[in-house]
Structure 1
Amino acid sequence: MLPSGRKHSGKPGKISMEDQLLRAFDFGKEDRKHLSGPEEDVTHAKTPAVDKLGKKRTSAGLLKDMGGEVQSMLQKIGVDISSSLLAKKKRLVMYTKASLKTSNQKIEHIWKTQQDLRQKLSQEFSQQFLTLFQQWERDVQKAEEQEEKLTSMDDLEKNQDILLTGAQNELKKEMALLQKQIMMDTVSYDSKH
């Protein structure tokens, strides 16, 4: 597809394809001046063209020659387009590779940063867990000590209950003996008086 407007390739001394096509199909004003007759007749007339050797050519021959030139220009355009597409394809491949490399580097950096962060969090959690576990062990040890103290106290309380019961029984026996003695003393006093 040819762009509208003239295209300059930027290479000196080389005529663009569009200029070549315009020259091939357009008679310039200078060419029209030296032709005889009105301008309308000249542009639409089917006059034989004269080639460089001075031979007359028919319009069919002229079209055949122009067709060959057009064909060669189209082939050059095809080569130019192919080389341009190949260069663009190479640039696209290079850009894609560079983009993938940059993306991979960014992903690796993010992965490493996250991995370092996970490792740091894991260490902090492990330290907190270790501290908590050590505190739990101390609490368990204190609880065991308290339990031992409670069992000693239970034993003491049972011993005290046993001793108290024994003391009460002794006291009851002594009281009963004293009462007996007092009764006997009272009976013997009454009998003497």
Structure 2
Amino acid sequence: MLIMFYRLKHYHKYSQQFTTLFQEWDADVQKAKAQEERLAILFQEQRKIFQQARLAQIQKLKKMKTLYDEFLKSMEDLEKSHEYFLTNEESEFKQELASMHKKIMLDAQQQELAVVKKSLESLLF
């Protein structure tokens, strides 16, 4: 009977230890599941943030491309405007040059006529 008592005592002692160990293991499993769920939620949140950041980056790149295209167009327009301005200025300059040349030629002719007239007057009188 004493042996049976020791057996029951050991059985009870190890059974309590096993039950405690099983409860601790079960608590650890529950904690691991809770952490896994939190990690999954964090992963989804970070994935969402990453997608939003990516969309924002794509929109900024599109805006930069649009601005660059607008800049190139304005530079082309400015270049055309500059060429038009230079062409007009050159044309006006040529017209003024032609006008001055004509005026100089008329002045030279008048001076020659005056010299010829003076020469004729001096010969006649």
Rounded Cα–Cα distance in structure 1 between residues aligned with 2:82 and 2:17: 94
The structure with more helix, counted as a fraction of residues: 2
Q: Unaligned 5+ residue runs, structure 1?
A: 1-78
1:167 Cα deviation after fit: 2.2
* Moved segments of 4+, more than 6 Å: none
Tell me the equivalent position of 2:118.
Answer: none
CA positional deviation for 1:173: 1.4
1:175 aligns with 2:96: yes
Within 5 Å, give how 1:30-179 maps onto structure 2.
Answer: 80=2, 82-179=3-100
Matched residue, 2:122? none
How far 1:102 sits from its partner (Å)? 0.4
The TM-score normalised by the length of structure 2 is 0.80
The alpha carbon displacement at 1:154 in A equals 1.4
The residue number in structure 1 matching 2:105 is 184
1:53-82, Cα deviation, whole Å (9 max, x unpaired): xxxxxxxxxxxxxxxxxxxxxxxxxx62x3
The Cα shift of 1:183 comes to 0.5
Q: Which whole-Å CA distance do the structure 1 matches of 2:77 and 2:108 have between them? A: 45
- Distance in 2 (CA, whole Å) between partners of 1:115 and 1:178 is 93
Query: Which sections of structure 2, spanning at least 5 residues, go unmatched?
Result: 115-125
Q: 1:184: how far off?
A: 1.4
Kindly indicate whether structure 1 or structure 2 has the higher relative contact order, using CA contacts under 8 Å at least 6 residues apart.
Answer: 1
Matches within 5 A, 1:5-44: none
Report the identity percentage: 10
Cα drift, residue 161 of structure 1: 2.5
Give the CA deviation at 1:160: 2.1
Distance 2:46 2:110 in 1: 93
What RMSD, in angstroms, separates the aligned Cα atoms of the two structures?
1.7
